[in-house]
Amino acid sequence: MAIDGVLMLGFGGPTPGCCERRRQCPRTPGCEAECFVAGILGDNPARMGRVAEVAAHYHELGGTSPYNALTQAQSVALAAELARRGRGLRVACGFRHWRPWTIDGMRALTDAGCREIALLVMAPHQSSVSWDWYLKHAAEAAEALGDRAPAITAVVEPWYGERGFIAANAERVRLATAGWDAARFAAAELVFTAHAIPLPIAETSRYREQFADTAARIAEALGHPRHGTAYQSAPSDSRVPWTGPDIVPTIAQIAQHGARDVVVQACGFLVDHTEVLYDLDVEARNAAAQAGIGFTRAGCVHDHPAFIAALADGVERACVGVGA
């Protein structure tokens, strides 16, 4: 047997309609954001204030998220690239927090005739919550499917430093600053962001080191003389510290040091979904305006050909590793 399918594992985001998380859902149409956030934080009355706070971010941007559609586009591009290389592998998405759920993606591969699959975690940096968590959920989905589940034969290795991933991020920064002259770009402060994670988890993983490595490689590819890193999306009600510094006070500090422009790229994210759009395009942009500094956000990699090629390289290595 050989690997004949790839399950792309992602976080998920709310889309119109019921998420089918509950058999009897008390929520009404238009409450997708609340249901999504409650599914992440848990249906705990003590956290309903935080649920409402985060759901309000989604409602400010339309009530749903582009995450699923953008990740599906990445899966289509990956399947096409693998086919171009002579590997006709099926690629399906499975999300942790919205449909198609992880088990739905695995079932889709089974229905397509796949018997052995590779798992592809759609997160560049590793920790128990950003990597291991997805693999555990996939294993649970396979167990739930029983005899109908395809065999999980391989896991695509981390690609945070892969040339194609770095090149795609660098190209997004170039596009965002395309109208600038060399002097303005060199004088700008370049800051990369990743999702904050609980500090105790960060201390038992290579998450921060891998993020720093990605950022340094992108800055080097751009030929920029300096760069910084910051985090975003930390909860406001946590009892434990999260990784920092946060991007909002970081921008204020940059302005105090006399910079005229800050260029921010969320290289820890793969698509411009709601967390990126709100935390950066709303909160960080407002912070820059208040500090009197120019703000430019470079887009995420999305389905940039160089990034998709890097993913395909990883899938091929996984196939070779099991003799497929």
Q: Which of 33-47, 215-229, 301-315 has the lowest mean pLDDT?
A: 33-47
CB atoms within 10 A of CB 147: 4
Instruction: Determine contact, residues 121/155, Cβ cutoff 8 Å.
Output: yes
Instruction: Locate all alpha helices (DSSP H) within the chain, ordered by sequence.
Output: 32-41, 48-60, 67-84, 102-111, 133-145, 163-176, 182-187, 199-202, 207-222, 247-256, 274-278, 285-291, 305-321
- Per DSSP, the three-state class of 8 is strand
Mean per-residue pLDDT, 260-271: 99
pLDDT tens digit sequence for 120-132: 999 999 999 999 9
Q: Domains in the chain, ordered, with CATH?
A: 163-298 (3.40.50.1400)
Residues of the chain with pLDDT > 90: what percent?
88
Global pTM?
Answer: 0.95
pLDDT at 46: 80
pLDDT at 25: 66
Is 302 a residue whose pLDDT tops 90?
yes
CA–CA separation, 297 vs 313, rounded Å?
28
Is 24 a residue whose pLDDT tops 70?
no
Q: Is residue 14 left, alpha or beta, with left meaning phi > 0 and alpha meaning psi from -120 to 50? A: beta
Q: What angle do CA 117, 312, 93 make, to 5 degrees?
A: 50
CA–CA separation, 2 vs 253, rounded Å?
53
Q: In which band, very low, low, confident or very high, does the pLDDT at 153 lie, cut at 50, 70 and 90? A: very high
pLDDT tens digit sequence for 86-142: 999 999 999 999 999 999 999 999 999 999 999 999 999 999 999 999 999 999 999
